[in-house]
Amino acid sequence: MSPIKVGDSIPDGFFSFFDENNSLQKAAVHSLFAGKKVVFVGVPGAFTPTCSSKHVPGFIAQAEELKSKGVDEIFVFSVNDPFVMRAWAESYPENKHVKFVADGSASYTHALGLELDLTEKDLGIRSRRFALLVDNLVVKVANLEEGGAFSVSSADEILKAL
């Protein structure tokens, strides 16, 4: 499958996550994104070096500025189970706006066409690193990284596009 691109409708699928009451939820992507401007950030793995020290902290630090430019929601997404994603979210006590969602089976990653095979590194199939700006289910910006790069998917790059 070819990777998602600008102008595409975001595919529907499901995320698992823990809500503000610490209850495990499963929700359709379209129900979470419809009628909203969403920054959707994909990372290869929770607690991995670049994801944890650079990529996600940038979105947490700049969440207020993103919201001031019309962003309704910010989601961080990874091929991990929801329990790992909850623990990862809890490792950022300063976070007030970024929501962490899981794609435990990589099925949504496949629907996006953004699989990254890290089997040789004992990580299995993961998501490529990316940052999408989605407005009412339509991709307006698609900053997709190659391999382990981190050059186009930062919060700064999304802010430039707003």
Catalytic residue numbers read 51
Q: Are 42 and 75 in contact (CB under 8 A)?
A: no
Residues sharing a CB contact under 8 Å with residue 107, sequence separation 6 or more, in sequence order: 13
Q: Find residue 76's DSSP bridge partners.
A: 41, 100
Nearest to 108 by CA among 75, 150, 153: 75
Cα 141 from Cα 153, distance rounded (Å): 10
Q: What is the DSSP string of 86-102?
A: HHHHHT-TT-SSEEEEE
Burial of 148 (0-12, 13-18, 19+ CB in 10 A): middle
